[in-house]
Amino acid sequence: MFPIQDSVPRRCPPFMMWSIMAVNVLIFLLETRLGPHGLQRLFYLYGVVPARYTHPEWASWVGLAPGAILPLFTAMFLHGGWLHIIGNMWTLWIFGDNVEDELGHFRFLIFYLLCGLAASMVQIYVNAGSTIPTVGASGAIAGIMGAYFLLFPHARIIIMIPILFFPFFFDVPAIFFLGFWFMQQIFGGTLMLAGPKEVGGIAFWAHAGGFICGMATIRLFRTGARTCARRYRDEATPWGIWRDGPY
C-alpha cells in the first residue's frame, strides 16, 4: 500500500516540514557527488552503527569515535538512494503538515528529532552487534505517523495498490492504514530477528520505535501549543471528541 493523499487540509504553511525536506534533499544531492568509497565513509561516520555504541573496542579499532552522539541525529538526514529519499519525503509531505498544524513549528522540529532519536536507540538495542550503518528519516517520520494515528484517526487516506502491474486506488480510514503499517513493521522486525543479524535492509524495529514514541509523546508536545490552526464543532479531536467553538 502506498499513500497518495489524505483528507485533512492544512491550516498553516508547514514551514518546518518544508525546511526539513529541503535539508534532506540538499544533503542527498551532495551525496550523489560522492563516489562509492566516499559515500560508505559518510554513512559510517554519520550514520547509526549499533556496534559503535555496544562494542567501543571495535569502534576504536576501525577509527570511529565510540558512543558519539552526533550520528544519532545526522543519520536522519542521510539516504541510501533515490527511492529511499522519495518514499520518505513523500510520506512526510502527506502526514507532516497536519501534525505541524497541531504542534507549531518549533515543537514540531523537537518532536521530529525526538522520534528519530528514539528510533535509533531501538535499532541499537535490537541489533546491538551490527556493524552496518543505518540511515534515513523513516524513524522520525514514523513518529509523525504515530502522532497522526492519534490526532486524526478518522481522516481518510487514498492509497494505491499495484495488482498485476495495474494501479488500484482505495479510500481507507487513517486508523486502518497506519495501524496496518505499524503491524507490518512488527511482523517484518520479528522475521528479521529469526534470521541472520548481519544484514542490511529495512529497519523495521526502528520504524516501530519511532511510531510508538510519536504516540507516547504527542500529547505532551501538543499541550499548550499555539498555532494558527482553528477547529470547529464538526471536527473530532483525540481527547474529548468535540470542542466548543474555534480555539
With 60 as the cut, is the pLDDT of residue 130 above it? Answer: yes
Q: Report pLDDT for 174.
A: 96
The whole-number average pLDDT for the span 13-36 is 96
The whole-number average pLDDT for the span 79-94 is 96
Domain membership flag for residue 146: yes
Domain membership flag for residue 41: yes
SS3 234: coil
In contact, 68 and 76? CB cutoff 8 Å: no
Domain membership flag for residue 236: no
- Give the whole-angstrom CA distance, residue 186 versus residue 208: 7
Domain membership flag for residue 232: no
CATH number at residue 94: 1.20.1540.10
Q: In the 8-state DSSP scheme, what is residue 199?
A: -
Per residue in 167-220, pLDDT (tens digit) is 999 999 999 999 999 999 999 888 877 665 544 578 899 999 999 999 999 999
Burial class (CB in 10 A: 0-12, 13-18, 19+), 238: middle
The whole-number average pLDDT for the span 26-48 is 95
With 80 as the cut, is the pLDDT of residue 166 above it? Answer: yes
Question: What rounded mean pLDDT belongs to the chain?
Answer: 88
Residue 85: domain span: 2-222
Q: Report pLDDT for 240.
A: 39
SS3 171: strand
- Helices and strands (H and E) in the chain: how many: 10, 3
With 80 as the cut, is the pLDDT of residue 221 above it? Answer: yes
Q: In Å, how far from its chain's centre is CA 157?
A: 18
pTM for the complete prediction? 0.87
- Give the whole-angstrom CA distance, residue 125 versus residue 119: 10
The cell for 157 is 487516506
With 50 as the cut, is the pLDDT of residue 242 above it? Answer: no
Domain membership flag for residue 15: yes
Structural domains of the chain, count: 1
Domain membership flag for residue 247: no
